[in-house]
Amino acid sequence: MFKMPQLVTEQQVAYPESYYTATAGSVESLPPLDGKEQADVCVIGGGFTGLSAALNLAELGLDVVLLEAERVGFGASGRCGGLIGSGQRKDVLETEELFGYRQSRLLWDMAELAKQEIRDRVARHGIDCDLQKGQLIGVHSKRYLGYSAEYADVLAERYAYPDCHALDREGTRAMVASDDFLEGFFDPNAATIHPLRYTLGIAAAAREAGVRIYESSRVTGYTRSDPATVSTAAGSVEAAFVVLACNGYLGRLEPRVADRIIPINNFMIATEPLGEERAYSLISGRFGVHDSRFIVNYFRLSDDHRLLFGGGKNYRVGFPSDIAGFVRPYMLKVFPQLADVAIDYAWGGTLSVTANGLPHFGRLEPNLYFAQGYSGHGISTANYAGKLIAEAIAGRAAQFDVFAGLPTKPFPGGTLFRYPGMVLGMLYYSLKDRL
């Protein structure tokens, strides 16, 4: 039976404090699942993947229930850097080496469709998420000199993507006032968004399409049956299909895929408002920026002229006690001229990575679909994952199967001992970042 959403006090289930929550506008809380429900599809997780799957499924005429353990967009979807890059987490030079040109081109073309899916959703549903265009990659090491020109040429000649261009040091510094970059690569067709506003907009569109969304409804388990029964502390959903869309917040819910990802914590800060002149003296436009480090710094300007800066990771359950103090040195390495600037917001979030940096899609039962492991490239990939899952459930699985066929090995040591090896590996790459 359909239950109309009711307003719940913010104190009952609070979003973590961040610049995004402070600027999200009015946010309606939704009730928890209470009792038994039936649906064609039960989606577990209220982030990009789950909401996209639910919305696309509803538009295909299916009856959908979505269960979210906390709040819609509570996880990485509502806390991330907001950069929407082109292609996959691995660039086309790497995917060509791994899979050959034909498969690499297919992955690139689907990534282009993923970006377009976001643009279309923003326009169709009137989502006010500060969608901006452009992304600059700053090359930080002499080891990567020449990459920008090579990559721009490859995209133009083999991927029908001619608009990117390489920048020398002076050209890069004209766009980003930092001595940290030796050259740059600019992609005018990448994008940035306010991720929480986008997530809330997709949630609103899903509800309008008939999706029943329940917050504060942590799933405790589900049956491997047809139909399946998905259980929470206060209720259950019987559904013909189940979509597992938890990513870095999967925990112990599904051991069969947990060892393919490692949850990692990433952190962001937002400065005090800098004023328009000072803000644009740092970055010449509203495009996103990230560097070529393995442990990436990423940043952009907000619409109220703050610098939003992400940097640093850890692999523990908890966050640093002083997130602002943890991230600030990364920011000052890029922009030492901000030493006098106060930090107004600092927050962290959890994403997941795979061993090879490629997303992990698949089916665990004929009626149980999952997608996870976006490895820091999750906004467009996760949104598109939801669309592809919906199409696969509807019987059109060709694109889903392309991703499901990508090799994703388990981390050595399984879920218990994967962290020590990962930490050693990250220490190795962090040392290489300094060379």
Q: Is residue 102 part of a domain?
A: no
pLDDT at residue 431, rounded to an integer: 47
What are residue 138's DSSP bridge partners? 184, 291
The CATH code of the domain that includes 375 is: 3.50.50.60
Q: Per the domain annotation, does 113 fall within a domain? A: no
Quote the pLDDT of residue 360. Answer: 97
| Whether residue 295 is found in the same domain as residue 331 | yes
Span 290-327, pLDDT tens digits: 998 878 999 999 999 999 999 987 656 678 899 999 99
Q: For residue 288, give the CATH number of its domain.
A: 3.30.9.10
What average pLDDT does the structure give for the chain?
92
Question: Is residue 107 assigned to a domain?
Answer: no
Cα(288)–Cα(279) distance, integer angstroms = 13
**Residue after which a domain boundary falls, among 313, 329, 353:** 353
Residue 7 counted as domain residue = no
Residues 250 and 346 in one domain: no
Same domain, 301 and 360: no
140, 169: one domain: yes
Q: What percent of the chain has pLDDT over 90?
A: 83
- In the listed set 335, 353, 371, which residue is the last one of a domain according to the structure? 353
More confident residue, 292 or 288: 288
- Considering the domain architecture, whether residues 362 and 255 belong to the same structural domain is answered as yes
Q: Classify residue 87: in a domain, yes or no.
A: no
Rounded to whole angstroms, the Cα distance separating 38 from 57 reads 15
Count of domains observed in the chain: 2
**Do 297 and 373 have their domain in common?**
no
Cβ within 8 Å of residue 390, ≥6 positions away? 52, 53, 56, 57, 60
For the chain, give the percent of residues with pLDDT over 70.
91
Q: Is the pLDDT of residue 9 over 50?
A: no
pLDDT of amino acid 316? 61
- Maximum alpha-carbon separation in the chain: 63
pLDDT tier at 46, thresholds 50, 70, 90: very high
Do 335 and 268 belong together in one domain?
Answer: yes
| Predicted confidence (pLDDT) per residue in 80-138, tens digit | 999 999 999 999 999 999 999 999 999 999 999 999 999 999 999 999 999 999 999 99
Q: Are residues 158 and 255 in the same domain?
A: no
Q: Residue 90 domain-assigned?
A: no
Helix%, strand%, coil% for the chain, nearest 5: 35, 25, 40
Q: What pLDDT does 26 receive?
A: 87
CA-nearest of 332, 331, 297, 289 to 313 is 297
Q: Which of 299, 334, 353 is the last residue of a domain?
A: 353
pLDDT at 432 over 90: no
pTM for this entry? 0.92
Residue type, 378: G
Question: Is residue 426 one of the residues assigned to a domain?
Answer: no
252 lies in the same domain as 293? no
365 and 333 share a domain?
A: no
Q: What is the DSSP string of 342-358?
A: PEEEEEEEEEEE-TTSS
Report if residue 251 sits inside a domain. Answer: yes
**pLDDT attached to residue 1:** 26
Position 412 confidence tier, pLDDT thresholds 50, 70, 90: confident
| 68 pLDDT higher than 90 | yes
> Residue 221's beta-bridge partner residues?
231
Q: Residues 256, 273: one domain? A: no
User: Do 309 and 392 have their domain in common?
Assistant: no
Place of tokens 């990459």: 147
Full domain range(s) for residue 233: 19-79+196-260+356-420
In the block, residue with structure tokens 């300007």: 301
pLDDT digits (tens, 9 = 90+) for 319-351: 889 999 999 999 999 999 999 999 999 999 999
